[in-house]
Amino acid sequence: MSSWFEGPPRLVPHRWHGDATMTEPDHGTELAWPAEGPPDPRDVVVMGPRTRAHYSSEVRSRGGCMRLRVASGRAAGLLGLGVQAITDRVVPLQDFDLDFADLMRRAAGAGTVRSRCRPR
């Protein structure tokens, strides 16, 4: 795709533990959206680095999610803020004042994507 990402989006099936799904710790930053159908911009989230497992019983997509991993060291330039602001958080992409389709087009080029994000 570009130097902004580590390969194309990939399907990640949910890991079920009883009635909840579990996301394992991971040092990377990823964009994620439900696997069913085309991505709705309101459903795209930025998953910051995770220092611990996260369990959720609020699952919109039973089939898993699509994830697009941001290349190591590129999240701050892509999102416009350091990853420490989103570590252990899942932030809607809309909070970054970015449109998913626009982000994909601009990230595929050489320019930097600017954001005015102030995650809550």
Which pLDDT score, from 0 to 100, does residue 2 have?
59
Which residues neighbour 84 within 8 Å (Cβ) at sequence distance 6 or greater? none
* Start-to-end C-alpha separation, the chain: 30
Q: What is the pLDDT of residue 116?
A: 44
What element of type H or E holds 10?
strand 10-12
Task: Show the CA angle centred on residue 41, arms to residues 6 and 83, nearest 5°.
Answer: 45
Tokens read off for 26: 């991971």
For residue 92, list its beta bridge partners: 45
Instruction: Report domain extents, the chain.
Output: 10-108
| Residue 48 contacts residue 90 (beta carbons within 8 Å) | yes
Of 120, 53, 47, which Cα lies nearest the Cα of 87?
47
Taking only the tens of pLDDT, the chain with its 120 residues reads 457 888 788 888 877 777 888 888 999 999 998 888 777 888 899 999 999 988 887 766 667 888 989 988 988 888 888 999 999 999 999 898 777 887 667 656 534 444 444 454
Q: In the prediction, which pLDDT does 108 show?
A: 62
